[in-house]
């Protein structure tokens, strides 16, 4: 980074400018100027030894395993009677933040660097692939299922799908918020596979979540499947680092 000169103008505040003395070493090789000290005049020359990079860093992480039985939509099995296997991908999760008995992120008294995350009423959206016995894709469909339901729900199980789960996460730089005006609600960002106005396929700072789903058992006669869900909660921040430069990489046509 080149040096900057700080100048003051009465009534105009303060501004910083780069030095503009000397000539470009390409244009005037007899009176060269170091490009590092005169970036505004000299074109980029050579390759740097170190690069300044802003990278997402995981400060804390916690994994949670859940499982529940899900009824496959009857129309799917009727239209694809040769279905022998189902593959699932979690494309989105609504954490029901702000709803009654929904998920929430709370500060912990006398522990400013941590937050308490309570997960409940997770509306999980799946993308399902129906496969035959030769692993050929017969159909693709999206559907939604509720994990961590109310204790009165028939799908509630204290061991595999309880009403809620609470964990503490290390968040030294805070969390992300949403809301309007004076409303600031801590949120959880799901990193998924949704495009459009409500897309979630971009990495963001704060508390993030990723998920994997697997069909543990599939009963074709009853149209039911036991679906395991692995949640990975992470505290992510973008941090600036200096990295060694090993040369530029280009894709040749």
Q: What is the total count of domains within the chain?
A: 2
Of residues 48, 47, 33, the one with CA closest to residue 3 = 33
Task: For residue 248, tell me if it sits in a domain.
Answer: no
Task: Mark whether 108 and 18 lie in a shared domain.
Answer: no
DSSP-assigned states of every residue in the chain:
----EEEEETTTEEEEE----S--TTT-TTS---GGG-TTTSPP-S--SEEEEEEEEEEEEEEEEEEEEEEPPHHHHHH-TT--EEEEEEEEEE--TTSTT--EEEEETTEEEEEEEEE--EEEEEEEEEE-TT--EEEEEEEEEEES--TTSTT-BTTTB-S-EEEEEE-TT---EE-STT--EE--EE-----STT---S--SEEEEEEEEEEEEEETTTTEEEEEEEEEEEEEEEEEEEEE---------
Of residues 66, 85, 62, the one with CA closest to residue 132 = 85
DSSP-assigned states of every residue in 114-154:
EEEEEE--EEEEEEEEEE-TT--EEEEEEEEEEES--TTST
Task: Mark whether 223 and 206 lie in a shared domain.
Answer: yes
Task: For residue 197, tell me if it sits in a domain.
Answer: yes
Residues 123 and 94: their CA atoms lie apart, in Å, by: 5
Owning domain of residue 35: 5-46
Task: For residue 131, tell me if it sits in a domain.
Answer: yes
Q: Give the pLDDT score at 71.
A: 93
Task: For residue 245, tell me if it sits in a domain.
Answer: no
Task: Mark whether 183 and 76 lie in a shared domain.
Answer: yes
CB-CB contact of 190 with 231 (8 Å): no
CB-CB contact of 108 with 96 (8 Å): no
Task: Mark whether 42 and 120 lie in a shared domain.
Answer: no
Task: Mark whether 80 and 203 lie in a shared domain.
Answer: yes
Q: Quote the longest CA-to-CA distance of the chain.
A: 86
Task: For residue 250, tell me if it sits in a domain.
Answer: no
Task: Mark whether 148 and 121 lie in a shared domain.
Answer: yes
pLDDT tens for the 253 residues of the chain, in order: 445 555 555 556 666 665 555 555 556 666 666 655 566 666 666 677 888 999 999 999 999 999 999 999 888 888 999 999 999 999 999 999 999 999 999 999 999 999 999 999 999 999 999 999 999 999 999 999 999 999 999 999 999 999 999 999 999 999 999 877 778 899 999 999 999 898 999 999 999 999 999 999 999 888 899 999 999 999 999 999 998 888 777 777 6
Q: pTM for this one? A: 0.82
For CA atoms 240, 244, 245, 249, the dihedral sign is negative
């Amino acid at each position: 980074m080149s040096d900057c000169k700080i100048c003051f103008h009465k009534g105009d505040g303060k501004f910083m400018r780069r030095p503009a003395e000397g000539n470009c070493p390409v244009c005037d090789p007899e009176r060269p100027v170091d490009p590092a000290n005169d970036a505004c005049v000299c074109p980029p020359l050579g390759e740097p030894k170190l690069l300044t990079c802003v990278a997402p860093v995981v400060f804390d992480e916690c994994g949670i395993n859940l499982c529940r039985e899900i009824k496959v939509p009857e129309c799917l099995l009727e239209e694809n009677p040769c279905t022998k296997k189902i593959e699932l991908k979690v494309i989105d999760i609504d954490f029901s933040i702000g709803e009654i008995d929904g998920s929430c992120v709370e500060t912990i008294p006398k522990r400013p660097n941590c937050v308490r995350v309570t997960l409940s009423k997770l509306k999980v959206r799946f993308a399902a692939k129906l496969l035959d016995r030769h692993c050929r894709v017969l159909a693709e469909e999206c559907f939604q299922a509720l994990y961590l339901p109310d204790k009165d729900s028939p799908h509630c199980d204290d061991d595999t799908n309880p009403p809620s789960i609470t964990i503490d996460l290390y968040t030294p730089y805070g969390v992300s918020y949403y809301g309007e005006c004076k409303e600031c609600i801590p949120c959880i960002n799901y990193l998924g596979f949704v495009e459009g106005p409500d897309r979630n396929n971009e990495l963001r700072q704060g508390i993030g979540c990723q998920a994997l789903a697997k069909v543990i058992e599939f009963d074709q006669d009853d149209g039911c499947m036991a679906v395991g869900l692995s949640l990975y909660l992470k505290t992510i921040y973008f941090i600036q680092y200096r990295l060694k430069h090993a040369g530029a990489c280009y894709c040749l046509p």
